[in-house]
Structure 1
Amino acid sequence: MTIAVTVSAKTARLTALRDAIDTGAGTAQLTLYDGVRPAAGGAATNALGIVDLGSPAGTVSGNVLTLALPDSINAAADGTVTWARITDKDGNWIMDMDAADDPNADLSISPASVFTGGLINFTTKTLSE
């Protein structure tokens, strides 16, 4: 059975998530990785791209958190993006998600196969409940 939650409760949860990302004194980041996604918060693989999130890290409207991401970044290494991690402003793990060149991925990027210096485009910047 699926749990049904009001939009206001979803908004509160996403606002709390955004506020957790904004915790600390530095800059919150989203890092794109290759390889198998580890257990929650586990040791990361090869970083293919790192982007600083804005402050605040995003905006919440209804049941959607829109991350403050640029349209694209340059890849830091060669590989195939398979997952992403968001850390707070102190570098602490907040969340991991699947990333792929797929509109149904948690984080949709294009292309998934990247080369050092090549563009990685963020085709979806939203997380929704």
Structure 2
Amino acid sequence: MIQFSTAVKNARLAAIATAIDAGESPASFVVYSGSRPSPSAAVTDQVALATLEVPQPFAADISSGVLTGAGFEEVMADADGEATWARLVDGEGGWVMDLDVGIEGSGADVTISSTTIYRGIITRISRIIFAEA
């Protein structure tokens, strides 16, 4: 297994934060229902359940191989559905990453208390944390 120094881990995480902050507008974190497309592929019949504006700058802290994002503002969900994946796009709408969504203990990249989303419910992300192994 390859192991990196903390300095290299922090530099990789800084590159992720820079990608998220690209563009003059804030990035978006969009939670979807339906099948997750191939990386960077267009969204087709998937339904955007909630769109959260990513704080800019995104990184609140990068240290010891951990990137802690700034806190998000809550939003109202846009549609009803079962959350299965999320997409993070930069301020220009450029693809940054896709993530699986599931409940606590599911092993998903993003965990939420319930994957069932209803239009008009408050949707919040406390923080996003990326940790280098």
Match of 1:5 in 2: 4
Task: State the match for 1:122 in structure 2.
Answer: 125
Moved over 4 A (4+): none
Q: Supply the distance in 2 between the matched residues of 1:32 and 1:67 (Cα, whole angstroms).
A: 17
Return the offset for 1:6. 1.5
Residue 57 of structure 1 deviates from its aligned partner by 1.3
> How big is the shift at 1:121?
4.0
CA distance in 2, matches of 1:55, 1:13: 19
Instruction: Report what 1:46 is aligned to.
Output: 47
| Distance apart, 1:123 and its partner CA | 6.0
Q: Secondary structure of the equivalent of 1:91?
A: coil
CA distance in 2 between partners of 1:54 and 1:123 (Å): 11
C-alpha deviation, 1:20, in angstroms: 1.0
TM-score normalised over the length of structure 1? 0.88
Q: TM-score, normalised by structure 2?
A: 0.85
How much does 1:75 deviate? 1.3
Cα RMSD (Å) of the superposition?
A: 1.8
Whole-angstrom distance in 2 between the partners of 1:66 and 1:84:
18
Q: Name the % identity.
A: 34
Give the Cα–Cα distance (whole angstroms) in 1 for the partners of residues 17 and 71 of structure 2: 13
Q: Does 1:81 align with 2:97?
A: no
| Stretches of structure 2 lacking an aligned partner (at least 5 in a row) | none
* Preserved CA contact (<8 Å) 1:82 1:98: yes
Partner Cα distance (1:69, 1:105) in 2: 20
